[in-house]
Structure formats: C-alpha cells, structure tokens
C-alpha cells in the first residue's frame, strides 16, 4: 500500500500572532511553525500501517522553502520520502489541484490529510481533492483499518459516530482519535540523522486558479477587565445589578 500524507505548515498555537501591510498579511517574524495537528494524527496512523503492513509513506506540502523544516520533521518521524510543491498555499482549491497532480503522478492508494488546518480552518481541501481524484472520501475520521483494498472507518457525526465500509483509493480527512495524543511521536536522534539523507523532492506547480483571496485579517477583541470578589453577597450583587444574569 502506498500512502501520501498531506502536511500543512502552521503556526504553533502558543505563538503571538500579528499582521502587517495594513492587516492584509500575516507577520511570520518570531513565529514557530509546526506540523498541523490534524495532519500529525494522520501521519502517526500512516506510520502504523508502515510498521504493521509494510506500507510506504510519503509526505507532501504545498508551500515555499520555509516549509522544508516541517517536512524534515515528518521524515524524522519515519516517512520515507517528502515532496514540496513550490507555490504558496493561499487558496484551498488551488492547493487541492496541486495535491491531485501529485497523487496522480505517484499512484497512491491512500491519501491522509487533516480535516482542516489550524491557521485558516477552511476544512475544504480533503473533500475537493477526493472529487478531483474520483476517489472515496471519509471526513472527520477517528478510526481507520485497511485489509487489502477494503477499508473500515469510523467518523464523527452530529450526536455520535458512524462506521463506514469502503475501498481504496481513498482520501481521509483525519483528526484526533485517528490516533490518541499519547501515540504521537517525537523525532529521536536516529530519526533526525536519517531524515537528512531521505529524498525531499521539489516539484513545480501545475496551473491552478485561486478561487478565493484574503482581503484582511482582524484580531479578536481583547478580553475585558476581571473583578475579584471575596464573599458570596458581593458576587450575587454584581451578577444581579451589573452583569444582569440573575
């Protein structure tokens, strides 16, 4: 089985976020970038298929040279090869087009991506990719088993879970539950050393029109002041007369 894991290069959630150029561009200065958490769950599941079933695992990112350290981390975790499509990831449709070209050229059986990235939270790429490939699709996936070309998956739905039987080729939009957080892997020294010699191929993008454009960014409103009270009577008075919630 040949697996492609889609990797987004996203800011660490602890990073301080700022914007430049009149709030039209994201300021990357001082920002630490990581593998998108939803993608990391998928990568860890792909490593399980590699170790238990002998699958080959490749990772792909759509982005500039600045994303290569994130791909190298994926290689250090255990992926066999990495691919970087040399174009900025500014639009979900254009990203899906680039990924579809990679999948078609590589002949992958299973494509695993996160259900959404934590920077733009678009949640659109896996579904569009499946449509472009005419492949089966399971989103919000929290369990994935493959036997030959037969697949059993569980996905989250409103109010519960749904078990699905399908077949390869398949595109998966994964999330926490595909593996548990305790199963996520930290690259060790051996993996880091091996990653230096693993292939990282840079390919030029195919023609793809962007269907959306970021106009501006806006930070959330700052949190209001907090009042501390040390007795119940004062608390009740504030809730009744000031907050007016009782």
Reported as a single tens digit per residue, the pLDDT across 38-92 is 999 999 999 999 999 999 999 999 999 999 999 999 999 999 999 999 999 989 9
Kindly report the CATH number assigned to the domain that includes residue 175.
3.40.50.620
Domain annotation covers residue 127: yes
Domain annotation covers residue 135: yes
Domain annotation covers residue 232: no
Q: Which residue has the higher pLDDT, 220 or 78?
A: 78
pTM to 2 decimal places? 0.89
Domain annotation covers residue 38: yes
Domain annotation covers residue 235: no
Domain annotation covers residue 242: no
Domain annotation covers residue 228: no
User: In angstroms, rounded to a whole number, what is the distance separating the alpha carbons of residues 99 and 125?
Assistant: 9
pLDDT of the residue at 136: 97
Reported as a single tens digit per residue, the pLDDT across 101-152 is 999 999 999 999 999 999 988 999 999 999 999 999 999 999 999 999 999 9
Total domain count, the chain: 1
Range of the domain at 75: 2-221
Point out which residues pair with 160 in neighbouring strands. 157
SS (H, E, C) the chain: CEEEEECCEEECCCCCCEEECCCCEEECCCCCEEECHHHHHHHHHHHHHHHHHCCEEEEEEECCHHHHHHHHHHHHHCCCEEEEECCCCCCHHHHHHHHHHHHHHHCCCEEEEECCCCCCCCCCHHHHHHHHHCCEEEEEEEEEEEECCEEEEEEEECCEEEEEEEECCEEEEECCCCCCHHHCCCCCHHHHHHHCCCCEEEECCCCCCCCCCCCCCCCCCCCCCCCCCCCHHHHHHHHHHHCCCC
pLDDT band at 175 (very low <50, low <70, confident <90, very high): very high
User: In angstroms, rounded to a whole number, what is the distance separating the alpha carbons of residues 167 and 210?
Assistant: 31
Domain annotation covers residue 246: no
Average pLDDT in the chain: 94
pLDDT band at 226 (very low <50, low <70, confident <90, very high): confident
Residues in contact with 52: Cβ distance below 8 Å, sequence separation at least 6, in sequence order: none
pLDDT of the residue at 156: 96
């Amino acid at each position: 089985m040949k697996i492609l894991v889609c990797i987004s290069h996203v800011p660490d959630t602890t990073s301080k976020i700022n914007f430049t150029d009149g709030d039209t561009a994201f300021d990357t200065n001082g920002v630490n970038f990581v593998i998108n958490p939803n993608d990391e769950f998928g990568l860890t599941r792909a490593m399980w298929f590699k170790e238990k079933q002998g699958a080959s695992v490749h990772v792909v990112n759509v982005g500039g040279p600045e994303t290569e350290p994130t791909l190298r981390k994926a290689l250090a975790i255990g992926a066999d090869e990495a691919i970087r499509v040399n174009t900025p990831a500014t639009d979900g449709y254009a990203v899906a087009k680039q990924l579809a070209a990679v999948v078609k050229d590589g002949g992958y059986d299973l494509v695993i991506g996160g259900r959404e990235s934590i920077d733009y939270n678009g949640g659109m790429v896996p579904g569009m990719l499946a449509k472009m490939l005419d492949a089966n699709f399971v989103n919000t996936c929290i369990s994935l088993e493959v036997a030959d070309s037969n697949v059993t998956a569980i996905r989250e739905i409103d109010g519960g879970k749904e078990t699905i039987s399908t077949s390869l080729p398949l595109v998966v939009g994964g999330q926490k539950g595909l593996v548990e957080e305790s199963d996520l892997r930290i690259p060790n020294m051996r993996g880091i050393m091996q990653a230096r010699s693993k292939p990282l191929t840079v390919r030029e993008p195919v023609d793809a029109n962007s269907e959306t454009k970021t106009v501006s960014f806006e930070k959330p409103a700052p949190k209001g002041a907090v009042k501390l009270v040390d007795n119940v009577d004062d608390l009740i008075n504030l809730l009744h007369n000031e907050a007016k919630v009782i």
